[in-house]
Chain A
Amino acid sequence: EAGVTQFPSHSVIEKGQTVTLRCDPISGHDNLYWYRRVMGKEIKFLLHFVKESKQDESGMPNNRFLAERTGGTYSTLKVQPAELEDSGVYFCASSRTTANTGELFFGEGSRLTVL
């Protein structure tokens, strides 16, 4: 079974440009999460999808960030326009259940560098 896959693994863009990150969860996992780790800080929650619906987007930093999960399969996270403070590693994770004891599977992360 394939794990959670993310693309690209590393993206370097200039301030003001747009970047789109993609996450393919494990097949059959309705729950998809986006997290971000900024240099030196802890991983922070961004948002949670259940199938194609946004269950919780309270962690999204501002309206420059747009996440979608059309069809309830893969998800994209677009940053437009990117700012310097958006640099970090964006992790995607998926789980089969929303139960508090459900195991979470992480992707390799997409490292974003904004110059």
Chain B
Amino acid sequence: KNEVEQSPQNLTAQEGEFITINCSYSVGISALHWLQQHPGGGIVSLFMLSSGKKKHGRLIATINIQEKHSSLHITASHPRDSAVYICAVRPGNQFYFGTGTSLTVIP
């Protein structure tokens, strides 16, 4: 069983929709990362958070350390948001990654 579980695995949304991607983890951590990978591209770090909520543009990330759960929200989704979103946690020096959520936003 993977230390990090994401849901859903695949998500298709209409442009403008509000999107939520969930991440649950089973290890103790001090920080959780949300990463974005565009098709054929590298990985970009979106957020690093250890408590509460962070907002960057239309992206919002929340974390509940006690429940070992984090969510990534995208408001007013746009086709350029289409990518794989990956949750990663770092209990020590190593990172553990979720399998990713493949998001497709249709115009």
Query: Which residues of A are interface residues toward B (Cβ below 8 A)?
Result: 33, 35, 40-45, 48, 55-56, 58-59, 91, 93, 98, 100-101, 103-109
Q: Are A48 and B48 in contact (CB under 8 A)?
A: no
Q: Are B50 and A101 in contact (CB under 8 A)?
A: yes
Q: Are B95 and A42 in contact (CB under 8 A)?
A: no
| B43: A residues at CB distance < 8 A | 91, 93, 106, 109
B interface secondary structure, majority: loop
Q: Are A44 and B41 in contact (CB under 8 A)?
A: no
Instruction: Give complex CA distance A109, B39 in Å.
Output: 12
| A109: B residues at CB distance < 8 A | 42-43
Range, interface on chain B: 20 to 34
Q: Are B31 and A43 in contact (CB under 8 A)?
A: no
Query: Which residues of B are interface residues toward A (Cβ below 8 A)?
Result: 2, 4, 29-31, 33, 35, 41-45, 48, 50, 86, 88, 90-100
Instruction: Give complex CA distance A49, B42 in Å.
Output: 21
Instruction: Give complex CA distance A58, B93 in Å.
Output: 11
| A105: B residues at CB distance < 8 A | 45
| A43: B residues at CB distance < 8 A | 86, 88, 95, 97
